[in-house]
Structure 1
Amino acid sequence: MDQLVVRPGGPDDVAAVLALLDGATRWLAELGRTGQWGTAPHSGNPRRIAQVRRWAADGDLYLAELAGRPVGAIVVGTAVPHVPAATGPELYVNLLVSDRAHAGLRIGARLLEYAEELARSSGIDLLRVDCYAGDDGALVRYYERQGFTATEPFTVPLADRRWPGQVLERRLLPRPRGEGPGAT
């Protein structure tokens, strides 16, 4: 199998990210898990399209590729306004999505490792993320398996319901001497 490559994304990747989101939404809907993103395609939502375009233009988007084909995306930057503020410098994961056709290949885990590398290279020792905390809490457990610890729960009021969320954090330990970028 080809090696997973993570690269910076840009404006030419907006359609690929929207396709990944649409695929994830279809998969969640097939499982009856519509609380997170509903059932409507992201590619038809002007607000979501503008958001992905902004992430791509701001340099916050990274894509995972297998054989040159996008199979995952992560967006990192600053925390969204609806979550409690961090007490110090952080890198915030605003989006993590992977192609369900490649489930089991650790695409999401690799993208989170890449975010950790970005944080470390900026001298930041805190990586945070928020996620949907409804249904059976499976997404919260996923992040906990990736080394995150649940911190503050929150709720986002929507027009038709309240969206339950959970902030999670991962403290980054210093690399052992001789490891990491540039080590020989």
Structure 2
Amino acid sequence: MPPQQTIAIRPGGPEDAATVLRLLDGATAWLAARGRTGQWGTEPASTDPRRIAQADDWTAGGGLYLAMLGDHPVGALVVGDAGDDVPPATEPELYVRLLVTDRKHAGLGIGARLLEHAADLARSRGLGLLRVDCYGGDDRALVRFYEGCGFTATDSFTVTRPGRDPWPGQLLVRRLG
């Protein structure tokens, strides 16, 4: 039996932009290899100026947390304010802006651990609501993942993107006790 592997979480910063892009590239390649291109397409985030700027914003904004397996980053979480594409919250909240994990370490509960960290952050700030949106297309496997982590699907929405197919989104909420 292999030794128990502990996932630690540390705050991230601007120096971690390349790490976030590496994680996004790996997840995009993993999805594309399975024919699941609706979520993030097929091109690496690290070659897309829009995604590079987004990673720079995320890492500079103070809401980045990295899941670490030893000294190796295996997941990223960004929390902050909701984007303009989702219905606004009706109460104070913490919003999950990004959740991505290294698929080479699937099965370790990295994503669930990062989401629990987001819930802990919200509670520590006196907030009772955690929200996230995700890709709601194909077989809705990602929606089911979030539901398995205690979220409830609420509003569906569509993001229109110039020159690309519309992106079906799903908003999910988790009430915190």
Shift of 1:58: 1.3
2:174 pairs, out of 152, 170, 176, with 170
Shift of 1:63: 0.3
The answer to whether the aligner puts 1:148 opposite 2:147 as a matched pair is: no
Name stretches of at least 5 consecutive residues in structure 1 with no aligned partner.
174-184
1:53 pairs, out of 56, 63, 69, with 56
1:68 pairs, out of 39, 64, 71, with 71
TM-score scaled to structure 2, two decimals?
0.96
Distance in 2, matches of 1:169 and 1:2, equals 29
Paired amino acid for 2:56:
R
Q: In structure 2, what is the equivalent of residue 105 of structure 1?
A: 108
Post-superposition CA distance 1:31-62 (Å, at most 9, x none): 10000000000001111111111111111110
1:19 pairs, out of 9, 12, 22, with 22
Q: In structure 2, what is the equivalent of residue 180 of structure 1?
A: none
Q: Secondary structure at the match of 1:81?
A: coil
Distance in 1, matches of 2:161 and 2:22, equals 24
Distance in 2, matches of 1:137 and 1:19, equals 25
Q: In structure 1, what is the equivalent of residue 129 of structure 2?
A: 126
Post-superposition CA distance 1:148-175 (Å, at most 9, x none): 00010000011221110000000001xx
2:161 pairs, out of 158, 163, 171, with 158
Shift of 1:91: 0.3
Distance in 2, matches of 1:3 and 1:149, equals 28
Distance in 1, matches of 2:126 and 2:67, equals 23
Q: Any runs of at least 4 consecutive aligned residues in structure 1 with deviations exceeding 4 A, and if so which?
A: none
Paired amino acid for 1:91:
L
Q: Secondary structure at the match of 2:40?
A: coil
Shift of 1:2: 3.9
Q: Secondary structure at the match of 2:144?
A: helix
Name stretches of at least 5 consecutive residues in structure 2 with no aligned partner.
none
Distance in 2, matches of 1:134 and 1:44, equals 24
Distance in 2, matches of 1:87 and 1:76, equals 18
Q: Secondary structure at the match of 1:53?
A: helix
Q: Secondary structure at the match of 2:50?
A: helix
TM-score scaled to structure 1, two decimals?
0.92
- What's the C-alpha RMSD, in Å, of the aligned pairs? 0.7
Paired amino acid for 2:18:
A
Distance in 1, matches of 2:61 and 2:150, equals 28
